[in-house]
Amino acid sequence: MKHPAPRQPQAGITRRTFLQTAAAACSTLIAGTRVSAKKPPLRLGYLPITDATPLLVAHGLGYFSQEGLDVERPVMVRSWNILTESFLANKFDITHMLFPIPVWMRFKQNIPVRVLAWDHTNGSAVTVRGDSAIRTFADLGGKQVAVPSWYSMHNLVLQLGLKAQGLTPKIQPQSAPLAPHEVNLFILSPPDMPTALLGKKVDAFIVADPFNALAEHRFNARIMRYTGDIWKNHPCCVIVAAQPFIDQHPVVVQKAMNAIVRAQAWCRENPTETAHLLSRDGERYLPVSQEVLRRVFKPPDPDLLVHPHWKVPRIDFQPFPFPSATRFIIDQMKTTRVEGDISFLSGLDSGRAVQDLVDDRFVLQAMDEVGGMAPFCDCHMGLPYTREETVEIR
């Protein structure tokens, strides 16, 4: 960098003009480095739920910048529709999505979307009114249950539980008669769920946090079952990017993945700080108070657990996309009742689908840098990248 040569004081040059020229000189320098880097800033999108935690924490702790990425503050939208539409309209480079959504995008709509990693595990629950008699899935017979989206883990896990009890999931108008062995499902937007529960429009709902925590906190609602207590350490949201973006910017994707994996490891170590950082008392990524979020990031009440020996946290972070889980999800999607055409699933070989959908190169590289599975695992260290899916419904 050239320093401006010392000048003799001149009548024509005031202090202000000197500063202006100096600033102009410096700004061209900065602009010069911008041009040489030639990377547009990385754009991240999220919904105001704890599922977005790794993306938000990676941004909040400056991990993206530390990796040398130029990144904008993640952009919040308010519904899955808007998130997927914005992703398709190329407004976001990397975002989180409920696992079944990219399956549906990739194989029904032929959109070249790739799952890069798991965003988090567990993190959802079935919630009922505090005074409700519903204690197990068997008690849900003849009831109305709200799910956030047909293509959601929530719908899938809920129907898994219902079918295990011999109940039939139905999709029909709320006023239609319901046999004692039938359960009526319908879509409700997550912010409306706790209110609808209290207003007795629904008997239970299954959704991601912080809506369960909010319902507990404000309306004395009770968690009937944590989803991680049904399917041990199940994936929920995944990190996705579009194939063209991955092809054009593999280095950016790798760096972003490094930042996200580091953030996931940090969240496991610092649950209270995570709650603070996300909340409106911290960096304001989510509109909720840290008091409510602390509930999500602290260990679940053991009395509410059916499998306390699994030691599953309410929400946990583990990036590696176990193929066994992806296969399980695709197989389950084939039998999960949804509104809409799912014929695209019938001819889909789940083994091949995993290869088409998941791109684990980046996450494996990123995990290598933080010591592999070690920061994330209470699992089998002999074969860290395989697991058996444990699903147990009682």
Partner 1 sequence: MKSADRHTYHNPRQMGLNVFFMPRKFGFYYELMGLALFAAAWILVSYVIFSRPQFSQFQGFLPGPTFRALISAFADERFWLSVFTSLRRIVVGISLAAFFGIPIGILVGFYPRVQGLSYSAIQFVRMISPLSWMPIALLLFASFESAVYFLIVMATICPVILNTTTGVRNINPQWIKMAMNQGAGNYQLIRTIVIPASVPHMLTSLRLALGVAWIVLVPAEFLGVSSGLGYLINDARDTMEYDKLMAMIIAIGILGFTLDRLFQKLQKTLRWSWNE
Q: Which residues bind partner 1 (CB under 8 A)?
A: 45, 48, 73, 75-79, 81-82, 85-86, 88-89, 91, 191-192, 194-195, 198, 214, 218-219, 287-289, 292
Q: Which residue in 53, 70, 111, 69 sits closest to 87, CA to CA? A: 111
Listing from the earlier edge strand, what are the strands of the sheet with 94-98?
A: 75-76, 44-46, 94-98, 237-242, 113-118
Contacts of 298 (CB under 8 A, 6+ apart): 271, 272, 314
| 52 vs 265 by CB, closer to partner 1 | 52
Q: How far is the CB of 46 from partner 1 (least distance, A)?
A: 9
Cβ-based neighbour number of residue 247 at 10 Å:
10
> Which residue is associated with the tokens 């989510």?
286
Q: How far is the CB of 202 from partner 1 (least distance, A)?
A: 15
Q: How far is the CB of 253 from partner 1 (least distance, A)?
A: 21
Q: How far is the CB of 152 from partner 1 (least distance, A)?
A: 18
Residue 315 pairs with which residues in a beta bridge? 122
Q: How far is the CB of 89 from partner 1 (least distance, A)?
A: 4
Q: How far is the CB of 43 from partner 1 (least distance, A)?
A: 10
Q: How far is the CB of 95 from partner 1 (least distance, A)?
A: 11
What's the chain's length in residues?
394
| 105 vs 354 by CB, closer to partner 1 | 105
CA gap 144, 158 in Å, rounded: 12
End-to-end CA distance of the chain: 69
| 78 vs 334 by CB, closer to partner 1 | 78
Identify whether the C-beta of residue 201 lies closer than 8 Å to the C-beta of residue 194. no
| 242 vs 367 by CB, closer to partner 1 | 242
CA gap 46, 200 in Å, rounded: 30
Q: How far is the CB of 252 from partner 1 (least distance, A)?
A: 20
| 101 vs 354 by CB, closer to partner 1 | 101
| 192 vs 389 by CB, closer to partner 1 | 192
Q: Is 144 left (phi over 0), alpha (psi -120 to 50) or beta?
A: beta
| 181 vs 284 by CB, closer to partner 1 | 284
Q: How far is the CB of 67 from partner 1 (least distance, A)?
A: 23
| 231 vs 285 by CB, closer to partner 1 | 285
Q: How far is the CB of 391 from partner 1 (least distance, A)?
A: 31
| 77 vs 237 by CB, closer to partner 1 | 77
| 125 vs 358 by CB, closer to partner 1 | 125
